């Protein structure tokens, strides 16, 4: 793949110099450490707000609640961030003419797309890793210490889920010259995946279906079949990138 | 649970929120910074009132020449 190294270096530098990586890392870390905190103190806050007049029975929070909050909060914030990061990645450079300028140098279109997607993945991955360290520490302090390897495995599955949604939006960004339209395609794809996930037997293989084994992995319980959903989602990312390339290689820039 | 008990755990969250806002406002107030729509006040409000996502939206879409 001609020019992948320099293009990837340019992408990573851009993610850092435009402060995208820093800002996403701060946002994810806030959600990462905020999740166990909320899991621990929300029942007490509800009780305090309800006062003595209402008798509310809330079971004491457990480490499961902390992992659940972590997955839910970072899942939602992460999907939104993945869409925001990917929506303008190719579309804006096509609109500004930067893509044509870059590809006038010895670099293939496949390398250009792969470098862009790897840049987005790096931002999501680094940010999620920092958030996971914070979330792990807060969970250990407020509840109990889970296995760091299991927590890392959960984070890995969460990252894969975000990368699938980023790849969906990335395809949209390749198809159009408008970042808003790209976001629309990304969100439309997410809805489509959610609908497909309702079909019997398909749900566990969708990106959203990764959250159940991720939760089980974090808690060290039986995660069931992880390899199938893992390979399916990796294949989905590869497939979306391949379609992006098929579209992009014939486009007039 | 008392406020004094949870304060040490809340401080890192507050620091992150303020850091995010600070980085956003620092970038916005650079004299050479041009923003989408041309109105820095609007983007300032997005950064300050948009909680965690406000600065993120500014860094991804607010700047003209990035």
A31–B contact, CB cutoff 8 A: yes
Q: How far is B46 from chain A (nearest CA, A)?
A: 15
B23 contact residues in A (CB cutoff 8 A): 19, 22-23, 26
Give the pLDDT band (50/70/90) at residue A253: confident
Task: Give residue A157's pLDDT.
Answer: 97
**ipTM of the complex in this document:** 0.89
DSSP B59: I
Residue A17 burial (C-beta neighbours within 10 Å; 0-12, 13-18, 19+): exposed
Q: Which residues contact A244 (CB under 8 A, 6 or more apart)?
A: A90, A113, A167, A170, A171, A174
Would you say residue A149 has pLDDT above 80?
yes
What is the share, in percent, of chain A residues with pLDDT greater than 90? 73
- Inter-chain CB proximity B6 and A142 less than 8 Å: no
What are the tens digits of pLDDT across the range A159-199? 999 999 999 999 999 999 888 898 899 899 889 988 998 88
Would you say residue A61 has pLDDT above 80?
yes
Q: How far is B38 from chain A (nearest CA, A)?
A: 18
- Inter-chain CB proximity B6 and A18 less than 8 Å: no
Both tokens of A149, joined, read 């390897």
A30–B contact, CB cutoff 8 A: yes
Task: Give residue B42's pLDDT.
Answer: 96
Give the pLDDT band (50/70/90) at residue A47: confident
Mean pLDDT over each residue of chain A, to the nearest integer? 92
Task: Give residue B51's pLDDT.
Answer: 87
- Inter-chain CB proximity A23 and B53 less than 8 Å: no
Residue A49 in any domain: the answer is yes
B43 contact residues in A (CB cutoff 8 A): none
Instruction: Number of A to B CB contacts under 8 A, please give it.
Output: 61
Q: How far is A24 from chain B (nearest CA, A)?
A: 7
Residues spanned by the domain of A150: 4-248
The residue among A19, A244, A9 whose CA lies nearest residue A115 is: A9
Residue A253 in any domain: the answer is no
What are the tens digits of pLDDT across the range B37-49? 999 999 999 999 9
What are the tens digits of pLDDT across the range A5-44? 999 999 999 999 999 999 999 999 999 999 999 999 988 8
User: Into how many domains does chain A fold?
Assistant: 1
What is the share, in percent, of chain A residues with pLDDT greater than 70? 99
Task: Give residue B1's pLDDT.
Answer: 66
What are the tens digits of pLDDT across the range A217-233? 999 999 888 999 999 99
- At B63 the three-state DSSP class reads strand
Mean pLDDT over each residue of chain B, to the nearest integer? 90
Residue A54 falls in which region: left (phi positive, over 0), alpha (psi -120 to 50) or beta = beta
CA atoms of A39 and A83, how far apart (whole Å): 27
- Inter-chain CB proximity B13 and A37 less than 8 Å: yes
Task: Give residue B66's pLDDT.
Answer: 63
């Amino acid at each position: 793949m001609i020019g992948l190294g320099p293009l990837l270096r340019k992408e990573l530098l851009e993610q850092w110099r435009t402060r995208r990586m820093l800002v996403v890392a701060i946002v994810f870390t806030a959600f990462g450490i905020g999740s166990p905190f909320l899991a621990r103190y929300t029942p007490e806050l509800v009780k305090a707000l309800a006062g003595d007049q209402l008798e509310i029975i809330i079971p004491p929070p457990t480490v499961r609640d902390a992992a659940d909050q972590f997955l839910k909060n970072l899942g939602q914030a992460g999907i939104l961030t993945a869409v925001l990061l990917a929506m303008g990645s190719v579309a804006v450079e096509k609109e500004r003419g930067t893509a044509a300028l870059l590809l006038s140098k010895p670099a293939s279109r496949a390398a250009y797309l792969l470098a862009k997607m790897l840049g987005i993945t790096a931002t999501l991955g680094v940010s999620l890793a920092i958030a996971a360290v914070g979330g792990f520490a807060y969970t250990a302090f407020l509840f109990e210490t889970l296995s760091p390897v299991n927590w890392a495995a959960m984070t890995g599955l969460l990252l894969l889920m975000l990368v699938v949604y980023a790849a969906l939006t990335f395809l949209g960004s390749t198809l159009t010259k408008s970042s808003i339209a790209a976001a629309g395609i990304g969100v439309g794809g997410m809805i489509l995946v959610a609908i497909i996930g309702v079909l019997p037997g398909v749900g566990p293989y969708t990106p959203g279906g990764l959250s159940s084994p991720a939760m089980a992995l974090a808690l060290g319980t039986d995660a069931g079949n992880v390899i199938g959903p893992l390979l399916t989602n990796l294949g989905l990312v590869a497939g979306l990138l391949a379609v992006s390339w098929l579209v992009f290689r014939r486009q007039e820039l | 649970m008392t406020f004094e008990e949870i304060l040490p755990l809340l401080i890192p969250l507050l620091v992150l929120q303020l850091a995010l806002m600070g980085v956003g406002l620092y970038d916005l107030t650079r004299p050479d910074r041009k923003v989408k729509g041309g109105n820095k006040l609007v983007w300032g409000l997005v950064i300050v009132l948009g909680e965690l996502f406000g600065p993120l939206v500014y860094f991804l879409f607010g700047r003209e020449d990035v």
